[in-house]
Amino acid sequence: MAASSNRTRLRYLLHLAQDNLDFRLPEIKALLALRGKPFHPGEHFKEKAPFWCLDGLCEDDVRGIMARSVCAKSAFELWGHGQTHSELRTSLLTYPSELMTPFLHKDSTYKINVYTFNKTLEFPDRIKRINAMEYLPFEGTVSLKSSQHIFCLLEDYGTDPNNIPEDPYYIYFGRWIADGQRELIRSHSVKNRHFIGNTSMDAGLSFIMANHAGVKENDLVFDPFVGTGSLLVACSHFGAYVCGIDIDYNTIHGRGRSSRTNQKWRGPDENIRANLRQYGKEKMYVDVMVSDASKSVWREAALFDAIITDPPYGIRESTRRTGSHKDVTKPADGIYLESHVPVSQAYHLSDIFTDLLNFSALHLVIGGRLVYWLPVYRPEYCEETVPLNPCLRLISNCEQMLSSHTSRRLITMEKIKEPEEFDSLAHLADPRFSPFQGHNAFREKYFSGVNKRKEENKSDLNGE
Ligand SMILES: C[S@@+](CC[C@H](N)C(=O)[O-])C[C@H]1O[C@@H](n2cnc3c(N)ncnc32)[C@H](O)[C@@H]1O
């Protein structure tokens, strides 16, 4: 009884990376949802802060989150906190001793780290901080190299590098539990990836997308604009089986010009399967094929646990689909000659998103998630321009700036019901169920903005 009441009193502290700020909360919420846990922030929670206190969790939950998160750096069991060292001391001395003693006994080894956010402390000041913690009943032996228990004093000096206060705004002390998966950003960097293209997705963002989608072991994940398969690499790392399609023959078959500056043509075995092999995940590879996302070849069934994708915006790759406005006569037997090259026509962004949402509504399992990037022209953006579908609930919508006037938004949706006949009339109730035509001119707006900026820079240079 006492143990369970103690467990509920425990509070954990997350230390988060200060990049991709918008993506952190949906990531942690999605990882908690995977464990069936709601997000319970402690008091004074600030979304953009480097430290978050979380309530209502157990140590296993925290370890589970840290085994996946690329936004969180470290997690601690919070023993005390306060605005000053004296408040911290009071808080620590009221922390139940039965929760501390298992980690302080005389047969154990330990060390205390000092971490300061937005300020560098000189070595003697760090030692002073550590010595000042002597009021805690540490009975074990200090071991810097292989300590059984690691404690950390964390001082928060705010987020403004031009205004660093003398004393910290807030101080925490806790027992280190686990580090997050920031290392994946380096180990899976596209710089060292076997097969890459002009639009290969950055490793950190690929893992964030897989986390927003709540990808888990043995899931089947599909990317309908697979390119070089960066998103499949991330999902396979989390134990999912992966597959995808792309309209580009060369990309799927790893042929054609290389995207590396020192290499003219792609070498043998430059393909998505080899990318998975590079990270020891080849067994998670299902297949990829040349296919047009606008013309589904899949049987009408809920096939995928997650659909994760980065559709083309028409900036560095064309947005094409098979078909023609002209009448192209099909052979009488319906079979084209082997030499037949299908014609293609423009694939408008609004249609890409409508098709993607309809496809996901049909092919995701209930509770399965769609995660995709929506490019937006910021002066025109409002929440109403985010495409909706009656079968998909919007879970999160995070912005990543591309330029002063353009950004892309990472949209996460969850399937809540199977498509029904009258869903096609949903746009009568809410226009967001029909395609937002404004997305179509993204390319023109993107380049007009770039040119406008160039003109402004020229004027600045000319002193006008
Ligand atoms: C932004 S890239 C995806 C990059 C990918 N995430 C990666 O990491 O390499 C978009 C991809 O969509 C493909 N694409 C364009 N139109 C398509 C269509 N109608 N059907 C399927 N794929 C298409 C392009 O060939 C391109 O590879």
Q: Are 290 and 245 in contact (CB under 8 A)?
A: yes
| Domain-ending residue, one of 181, 197, 229 | 181
222 Cα to the center of ligand 1, angstroms: 13
At residue 422, the pLDDT reads 82
Nearest CA to ligand 1 atom 12: 225
Residue 394 is assigned to a structural domain of this protein: yes
Residue 21 is assigned to a structural domain of this protein: yes
Residue 354 is assigned to a structural domain of this protein: yes
72 Cα to the center of ligand 1, angstroms: 30
Nearest CA to ligand 1 atom 26: 227
Q: Are residues 18 and 52 in the same domain?
A: yes
CATH code for the domain in which residue 283 is found: 3.40.50.150
pLDDT average, residue stretch 105-116: 96
Residue 5 has pLDDT above 60, yes or no: no
Task: Report the atom number in ligand 1 closest to the C-alpha of 223.
Answer: 6
Looking at 38-52, 99-113, 156-170, 312-326, which range is the least confident one?
A: 312-326
Calculate the average pLDDT of the chain: 89
With cut-offs at 50, 70 and 90, classify the pLDDT of residue 373: very high
Looking at 175-184, 189-198, 202-211, 221-230, which range is the least confident one?
A: 189-198
Residue 255 is assigned to a structural domain of this protein: yes
At residue 317, the pLDDT reads 62
Residue 461 has pLDDT above 70, yes or no: no
Q: Are residues 190 and 170 in the same domain?
A: no
Q: What is the percent of the chain with per-residue pLDDT over 70, rounded to a whole number?
A: 88
Q: Are residues 309 and 411 in the same domain?
A: yes
Residue 459 has pLDDT above 60, yes or no: no
For the chain, how many structural domains are there in total?
2
Task: Report the atom number in ligand 1 closest to the C-alpha of 245.
Answer: 21
For residue 356, what are its two tokens?
A: 């993607």
With cut-offs at 50, 70 and 90, classify the pLDDT of residue 129: very high
At residue 315, the pLDDT reads 66
354 Cα to the center of ligand 1, angstroms: 16
At residue 437, the pLDDT reads 67
Task: Report the atom number in ligand 1 closest to the C-alpha of 224.
Answer: 21
Q: Are residues 87 and 212 in the same domain?
A: no
Looking at 129-143, 278-292, 329-343, which range is the least confident one?
A: 329-343
With cut-offs at 50, 70 and 90, classify the pLDDT of residue 230: very high
Q: Are residues 195 and 157 in the same domain?
A: no
| Domain-ending residue, one of 165, 181, 197 | 181
Which stretch, 221-235, 243-257, 413-427, 430-444, has highest mean pLDDT? 221-235
Within 10 angstroms of residue 290's Cβ, the number of other Cβ atoms is: 13
At residue 7, the pLDDT reads 44
Q: Supply the range of the domain harboring residue 399.
A: 185-315+343-447
Cα separations (Å) of 453 from 405, 431, 446, 460?
A: 10, 33, 11, 10
Q: Are residues 376 and 267 in the same domain?
A: yes
Residue 462 has pLDDT above 50, yes or no: no
Best CA proximity match to 359, nearest among 313, 295, 429, 425: 295
CATH code for the domain in which residue 27 is found: 3.30.2130.30
pLDDT average, residue stretch 422-449: 72
Residue 62 is assigned to a structural domain of this protein: yes
| Domain-ending residue, one of 181, 204, 221 | 181
Dihedral-angle region of residue 188 (phi above 0 means left; psi in -120 to 50 means alpha; beta otherwise)? alpha
For residue 427, what are its two tokens?
A: 């746009």
d(CA 77, CA 103): 12
Q: Are residues 135 and 246 in the same domain?
A: no
Ligand 1: which residues within 6 Å by Cβ?
Answer: 197, 199-201, 225, 227-228, 230-231, 245-248, 251, 292-294, 310, 312, 317, 319-321, 347
pLDDT average, residue stretch 265-276: 91
d(CA 90, CA 86): 6
Residue 333 is assigned to a structural domain of this protein: no
With cut-offs at 50, 70 and 90, classify the pLDDT of residue 342: low
Task: Report the atom number in ligand 1 closest to the C-alpha of 309.
Answer: 6
Q: Are residues 74 and 130 in the same domain?
A: yes
Tens of pLDDT, residue by residue over 53-70, are 999 999 999 999 999 999
With cut-offs at 50, 70 and 90, classify the pLDDT of residue 6: very low
Nearest CA to ligand 1 atom 3: 227
Residue 454 has pLDDT above 70, yes or no: no
pLDDT average, residue stretch 351-364: 95
Residue 17 is assigned to a structural domain of this protein: yes
Q: Are residues 28 and 170 in the same domain?
A: yes
Q: Are residues 231 and 296 in the same domain?
A: yes
3-state secondary structure string across the chain: CHHHHHHHHCCEEEEECCCCHHHHHHHHHHHHHHCCCCCCECCCCCCCCCEEEECCCCHHHHHHHHCCCCCEEEEEEEEEEECCHHHHHHHHHCCCHHHHHHHCCCCCEEEEEEEEECCCCCHHHHHHHHHHHHHCCCCCEECCCCCCEEEEEEEECCCCCCCCCCCCCEEEEEEEEEECCCHHHHHCCHHHCCCCCCCCCCHHHHHHHHHHCCCCCCCEEEECCCCCCHHHHHHHHCCCEEEEEECCHHHHHCCCECCCCCCCECCCCCCHHHHHHHCCCHHHEEEEEECCCCCCCCCCCCCEEEEEECCCCCCCCCCEEECCCCCCCCCCCCCCCCCCCCCEEECCHHHHHHHHHHHHHHHEEEEEEEEEEEEEEHHHCCHHHCCCECCEEEEEEEEEECCCCEEEEEEEEEECCCCCHHHHHHHHHCHHHCCCHHHHHHHHHHHHHHHHHHHHHHHHHCCC
At residue 254, the pLDDT reads 84
With cut-offs at 50, 70 and 90, classify the pLDDT of residue 259: confident
Residue 104 is assigned to a structural domain of this protein: yes
Residue 245 has pLDDT above 60, yes or no: yes
Q: Are residues 293 and 370 in the same domain?
A: yes
Q: What is the percent of the chain with per-residue pLDDT over 90, rounded to a whole number?
A: 74
Q: Are residues 279 and 147 in the same domain?
A: no
